Amino acid sequence: MNKAELKRMVDANDWLWEKWWPALQELPPEQARQEVGGSFPSILATTAHMVGAETVWLERLLGNPAASFPASPTDIMGLYEFWRRLASRRQDWLTTADPEARVTYHFTGGTATNTVTEIVLHFTSHAHFHRGQLAGQFRMLGLKPPSAHWIGFFRL
C-alpha cells in the first residue's frame, strides 16, 4: 500500500464515523447507556471502546509503544469531541506516515511489530466489526442505524 492509499483507508474510516456520529448524538443518555448486549453492554460502551482502541493505535503509531486505553468520556458528546481531536491528530500523522515503517509496541500478550499498513488495516477492520455491533444494538432499542458502508466512501 502506498501513502495515498493509506490515507484513503483512514479517510474512509473517518467518513464512516462521520455518518454514525449524528445518530449517536441523537440518542438520549439513558438509551446510550441501556444494556442491550454484545461485546460491550451498551451503545455508549461500544462507542467508547471503539474510540479508545483508535486512540491506542494512534499513540503506538506516534511512538508510544506502551499506550493503553485512555479514560473515556462518560457521554456520547464527550466521546465525539475526543474522537474529533483523535481524527485531527491522525490526519496530521498521515502527512509523514510511511506505510512500510515497522512499529513495535506492547500489548497484553507481549510485544509485537507490524507495519503501519497492517496497523491501519487492523484498526479500520476493528471499527467495522464494532459498527456492526452498534447497528444490532440500535435495532435492539427499536432504532434505525445509519446506512453507511465502507464501499460508499469509494463510490464518491
> Nine-digit cell at 100?
512500510
Q: What is the pLDDT of residue 155?
A: 94
One-letter amino acid at 89 equals R
96 alpha carbon, distance to own chain's centre: 21
Distance between CA 92 and CA 132 in Å, rounded? 28
H or E segment to which residue 114 belongs: strand 110-115
**Which positions of the chain have pLDDT values less than 70?**
none
The domain segmentation of the chain, as residue ranges, is 3-149
What top-level class would CATH report for the domain 3-149?
Answer: mainly alpha
Q: What is the pLDDT of residue 72?
A: 79
Distance between CA 90 and CA 133 in Å, rounded? 24
